[in-house]
Structure 1
Amino acid sequence: MEARYCLSCGHPLENLNIGGVNRKECTNSSCRFILWGNYSIGVGALIIKDEKILLVRRFQEPGKGLWTNPGGYIEQYESIEKTIIREVKEETGIISSVNGIIALGDLPSKVHNVYLAFLMDYIEGNPQADNVEVDGAGFYSLDEMESMNVAELTRRLAHIAFKKSSYGLISDPNPIHSLPGYELYQVQRL
């Protein structure tokens, strides 16, 4: 869906060329809001327990019927770390914590999709599908995944997670006080 009205004041948007790229700008001279683009940020969890990885079977589109790693989309006022912990718990009942970011996906399109894959630490719980977003949940080995209808991206991410990469992005423990809530990630050994 294409925006036709200002997200700030509701006036019509018009096309404007900024730096050689067509953008939408508000026609209200006191607003002048610019729509820089349409973005979606997704997160995915890679949780390994006893040499098996946590997978869920999608109950809704996109990917209905496919086995994937748990995940979802970030909320406006929620950090990405809180988002992935919440998504895992909602979809599977598993309690986990963030170890680090081990993969970044980038798909420029009409809606530019950015995807952050987190290596997570299992804390507790038995996988239980929420029967809303997913209708199956469990821990599976790479061998078991061979006979399952697993999404291609999830297969790739599982192989990355099982390699136990020695480097990844982790949250910087020193907050930037002038930017409350801002999270900075840096490369470190996981």
Structure 2
Amino acid sequence: MEAKYCLLCGHPLVEKVIDGDPRQACSACSYVHWGNYSVGVGALVIKEGKLLLVRRAQEPGKGYWTNPGGYIEQHELIDETVRREVREESGVDARVTGIVAVRDQPRAIHNLYIAFAMEYIGGEPTPDHAEVDAAGFFSLEEMATMNVADFTRWLVDVAVRAQDSGLTAEREVPASLSKYGLYRV
């Protein structure tokens, strides 16, 4: 769906050239509609050499085993999002240790997906019976015979073959940046 009205004042949007590109902009105020975006996150939680997977109970991907994940909320730090999604879908508590991979998917709603390596803290895999109907820790051998989604298989391969720790979460954030989620090489 294309934006037609200003989100700030409600006036109609008109096409204006901004920074060399045609954009939808407000006819009455300074609002510019930069596009439609969504940011998703996923977790790669390993416990005793096994990876946490959940089986999707609804579309998209119903019946496929995937890593837990979901979409960020407007005022939620991304590492809080992935922890929340893991707890909601599987009952497992885990802590972000780094970023494993990023998927960029341009489309009507441009999707960015960030996969996090996470350290298992506690809890037994228990599905929420809304988004997922099964959850557990599985070895690579077990996954070979399961209906694992292609993207999850790719993420597992990336995580297993990683030569370094990728982007790691900054643990000593300066006070002036305390509201940011920061990651470094």
Which residue of structure 1 aligns with residue 146 of structure 2?
Answer: 148
Structure 2 Cα separation of the partners of residues 180 and 51 of structure 1: 33
Structure 2 Cα separation of the partners of residues 147 and 15 of structure 1: 52
- Contact 1:90/1:130, CA 8 A, preserved across alignment: yes
Residue 161 of structure 1: CA displacement? 2.1
Which residue of structure 2 aligns with residue 22 of structure 1?
Answer: 22
Residues 165, 121 of structure 1: CA spacing in aligned structure 2 closer, same or farther, 3 A cutoff? Answer: farther
Query: With structure 1 as the length reference, what TM-score do the two structures score?
Result: 0.91
Query: With structure 2 as the length reference, what TM-score do the two structures score?
Result: 0.93
- Cα deviation, 1:45-96, whole Å, max 9, x if unaligned, reads 0011122111011112221111110000001111001000010000000011
What amino acid sits opposite 1:14 in the alignment? Answer: V
Which residue of structure 2 aligns with residue 9 of structure 1?
Answer: 9
Structure 2 Cα separation of the partners of residues 80 and 110 of structure 1: 22
- Residue 167 of structure 1 aligns to a residue whose secondary structure is coil
Structure 2 Cα separation of the partners of residues 27 and 89 of structure 1: 44
| 1:63 aligned residue (44, 61, 64) | 61
- Contact 2:43/2:115, CA 8 A, preserved across alignment: yes
Which residue of structure 1 aligns with residue 41 of structure 2?
Answer: 43
Q: How does 1:69-148 map to 2 (within 5 A)?
A: 69-148=67-146
Unmatched 5+ residue regions in structure 2? none
Structure 1 Cα separation of the partners of residues 25 and 177 of structure 2: 27
Which residue of structure 2 aligns with residue 184 of structure 1?
Answer: 182
Q: Give the RMSD, CA atoms, in angstroms.
A: 1.5
Give the number of aligned pairs. Answer: 185
- 1:163 matched to 2:126: no
Which consecutive segments of 4 or more residues in structure 1 shift more than 6 A? none
Residue 109 of structure 1: CA displacement? 1.5
Residues 52, 179 of structure 1: CA spacing in aligned structure 2 closer, same or farther, 3 A cutoff? Answer: closer
- Cα deviation, 1:20-63, whole Å, max 9, x if unaligned, reads 422110111xx220011111100000011122111011112221
What amino acid sits opposite 2:101 in the alignment? Answer: A
What amino acid sits opposite 2:39 in the alignment? Answer: I
What amino acid sits opposite 1:110 in the alignment? Answer: A
- Residue 166 of structure 2 aligns to a residue whose secondary structure is strand
- Contact 2:96/2:169, CA 8 A, preserved across alignment: no
